[in-house]
Structure 1
Amino acid sequence: MIAFLFLLSQYETLSLAELLEIQVVTAMKKPLELKEVPVPISVITHDMMEGYRSVAEVLEDEAGIYVNRDLVFEDVGLRGIVSGMRGYSR
């Protein structure tokens, strides 16, 4: 499982030690500090999002994530599970 932490502008000035103290909520619905989470975490900063038109485009560049598109919808999938109105499993 991959968890994502989208950093808002308020987090951009934090040191590495402070970033590791940020709590994330995993699939177990239990808040953990980043250093305690047993899965890879991707950090996507505001600067990294420059040039993208949607969150789906940003996520598409992350390992283990795929995006299904049609003329209207962008469905994001993670390890066989797809989100969206027409969500399904592969």
Structure 2
Amino acid sequence: MRVERTLVLELERHEVTVGDTVTVRVRDTANRPIEGARIDAGPGVYWTDKTGRCRLSFSTPGFQKLVARKAGTDRVSYNPATALVRALPRSRAPWLAR
């Protein structure tokens, strides 16, 4: 019997200054961290650690769609999750300063 799990993509914040990092967490609906989830973020690809977290950054301003996926096994399949992050130019985001 194959179990189906839905991924949840949590963001530290939804706006980030270009060049700064943002932490994301991938978990399932039972709040279990998902290790080894692939996160596609614009042209970048990132992988989660054993806590389901990874840090990513953006080099160009604009809205960036994040997609979290996890390869299934013979016992478990995963439904992907999406989120949107707005990368702001450094000069226009004084409230997000380091």
TM over 0.5: no
Is the helix fraction higher in 1 or 2? 1
TM-score range, shorter chain: under 0.3
Is the strand fraction higher in 1 or 2? 2
